[in-house]
Structure 1
């Protein structure tokens, strides 16, 4: 039985016990969210059409196997451009990306710094925000899936005049019982087992009509909680229902989101082990072990086919755009 409204919608990454501290936290979050909602409703910014409407920034390391599917899927759901930061990859990523670079779809940036993911994101904002109206920050194992619309741009457009960033929640996927997987299989087709509820963590799309808040403490992990500013006051992201996410408070009026990020964190068991054995763009020592895998796997008690409506388009795109 769910103990709070939010427990019906979210599976908390860090479980929060029920009691006075939890109730006080949720009350404080609700009040803060209301105050920020009022401020947002009083905000209007002028909209300038830029070269791209929706772009994605991602940093990658040894992800050549997954790059084509990830790019083609996001092109189908409305991403115009990709700013990809290569972090010391040793695989054949260049042959995968060259056609996209030559056609102007991908901007490739060499980023040899170790554990400098947030710095890469900040570099992307300062270097490229004048080119795009929206800039999202996701990883190569994350797929943005519009549910109520068929386009990320169509979802984001109502937010553009008032909101500085939008947080889209994770739907976490497991292995679907696969020990290993055919190298030609598609991630969005092969994995459908998922958590029943949304994770209370997600990734953000920034409205570049606003500026990145310069407070390092609120933007320590800006891809998860991206605070912006218009004038002097920093403001938190809002979720897909336009509820401000201040102080890690998350609220949704219904259990179904209009958009989600399918996070294929583990994939098959052997893919997970291979991933953990390689260097990481964020962690100096990767804390994700076999125990973490199974703790995640045990929460996969549901299935989610939300990406399947794009599957035939994806297969056609991949067959037509062979490298």
Structure 2
């Protein structure tokens, strides 16, 4: 019998970081996506407006026009699409290899040298400058760092039975009062310096062989200590995670199942625990709406 340890999914990869180009600059986003045509254009335009220079999009077999919507939303020079149509990789022992981490490792090794920062987020996540007019402006003061952890700010259904006409940012403003107090579902996404990444994950990367980084206020912590009181910060950047969007989209999310080998009933229970925790105590959050308004107002 194979010990259970050897059957655990492979969710982290060690890499040799690529050397930085002498002309590297700007913020890039790495995204793995499948069938998100309804929302992908808004997501792309928002982040381009926020100062993202390059989008490296790993297409996991979209069939609904997702990539066509992306090409219509972004300049050709800003978008690189990589076909990535595989749902499961396995070793000869049967261990699942996490497809998202594999895509992230590929992006770091192949596109990382040209970028000062790479952000690894999903299409239901928006990087929102809190008071600055762009993500690069918000990152000023963090130039000497190589790993910035941003906690999810969790948004629920907001009373919408079906997808609203106004889009995600304008329509969803009900956020969990404190994501760090949620009993389920708290996690981070990251911006990293590709030239210093030595291990790749979804929610944390090793930098120069160390499992640590900073929050957006520059406070250092080991990754395992990020959930401790005092580390949560949205001083410069807020990561809005529109976990459910409308109820109809939540039901579709549940129907698609997990992106890992998880029993269907276990997956449903987990998702609904997170939803209930988000919606149990909410506040109005207009940070993303205010950012868009700020961009359309005259500079002082």
Partner of 2:138: 155
Structure 1 counterpart SS, 2:39: helix
Partner of residue 206, structure 1: 192
Match of 1:15 in 2: none
SS in 1 for 2:133: coil
Among 219, 224, 241, which residue is 2:203 paired with? 224
* 1:49 counterpart = 2:23: yes
Q: CA deviation at 1:119?
A: 0.5
CA distance in structure 2 between the aligned counterparts of 1:60 and 1:272, rounded to whole angstroms: 17
Which of 308, 311, 323 lines up with 2:289 in the alignment? 308
Alignment of 1:8-87 (within 5 A): 48-50=22-24, 52-87=25-60
Question: Partner of 1:291 in structure 2?
Answer: 272
CA distance in 2, matches of 1:256, 1:247: 17
Which shows bigger deviation, 85-94 or 53-62? 85-94
Pair 1:122 & 2:96 matched: no
Shift of 1:280: 5.2
Query: What is aligned with 2:212?
Result: 236
Q: TM-score scaled by structure 1?
A: 0.72
Alignment of 1:105-116 (within 5 A): 105-115=78-88, 116=99
The structure 2 residue matched to 1:103, chosen from 72, 76, 79, is 76
Structure 2 counterpart of 1:181: 163
C-alpha spacing 1:85/1:76, structure 2 compared with 1 (3 Å): same
* Alignment check: 8 A CA contact 1:101 1:107 kept: no
What TM-score do the two structures reach when normalised by structure 2?
A: 0.77
Shift of 1:235: 4.4
Shift of 1:113: 1.9
Please tell me whether the aligned partners of residues 193 and 300 of structure 1 are also in contact (alpha carbons under 8 angstroms).
Answer: no
Distance 1:255 1:135 in 2: 19
CA contact (8 A) 1:72 1:314 kept: no
1:275 aligns with 2:253: yes
- Which position in structure 2 is the counterpart of 1:41? none
Q: Following TM superposition, by how much is the alpha carbon of 1:100 offset from its aligned partner in structure 2, in angstroms? A: 5.2
Relative to its length, the structure with more strand (as a share) is 2
Is the CA contact (8 Å cut-off) linking 1:174 and 1:296 kept in structure 2? Answer: no
What is the rounded CA distance, in whole Å, between the counterparts of 1:303 and 1:283 in structure 2? 35
In 2, Cα distance between the equivalents of 1:88 and 1:302?
A: 37
Q: Distance in 2 between matches of 1:108 and 1:285?
A: 31
CA 1:164/1:98 → structure 2, altered by over 3 Å: closer, same or farther? same
Partners of 2:155 and 2:30 in 1: CA distance: 22
Inter-CA distance 127–101: structure 2 relative to 1 (3 Å threshold): farther
Q: Work out the CA distance in 1 between the residues paired with 2:231 and 2:81.
A: 40
Structure 1, unmatched stretches of 5+, are 1-45, 316-323
Unaligned stretches of 5+ residues in structure 2: 1-19, 89-98, 181-185
Per the TM alignment, residue 256 of structure 1 is displaced from its structure 2 partner at its CA by: 5.4
Between Structure 1 and Structure 2, how many residues are aligned? 258
Alpha-carbon shift at residue 81 of structure 1 (Å): 0.9
Aligned partners of 1:61 and 1:280 also within 8 Å: no
Deviation at 1:187, TM superposition (A): 0.3
